[in-house]
Structure 1
């Protein structure tokens, strides 16, 4: 786990308990809480990672995903030249590779 401040730890515990109260499993509650705290830290610039490694929700259309998420998908599909592609180009390359 990253080095969190006392405030971050309190926020984590609060979110985790809230998730548990909503009926989530312990593991899922911990995951949601950690992701939320880490996202907050990224947005505040308190961590060097400004983008995530994720590919977005698989149920979300490609057009609604971020360019970073599309680049991660393209990376998983070994699409060359992805770093210089625009969003539309990434979507087209991903669709052609998946077909």
Structure 2
């Protein structure tokens, strides 16, 4: 379960990374020579890690609840009815 949680955490980084990002122009700061206009003004690793942990924990909780209660099963997602194909012979 820990390995699956780590995968959820790593995926959540990409979901959370763009939240609340402000460029130097939006923040009213001065550009540094060679800085891209789209670069974030400040990068706060602690805040990012906290947000990612919250999102990953919520998604992982839904994953575990689905595993326990069977809300969505692989058979529900089988759009091509593979079981019928294998049973034909």
TM score, norm. by length of structure 1: 0.34
Q: Which has the higher helix share?
A: 1
Compare CA radii of gyration and give the structure with the larger one.
Answer: 2
Bigger RCO of structures 1 and 2 (CA < 8 A, at least 6 apart): 2
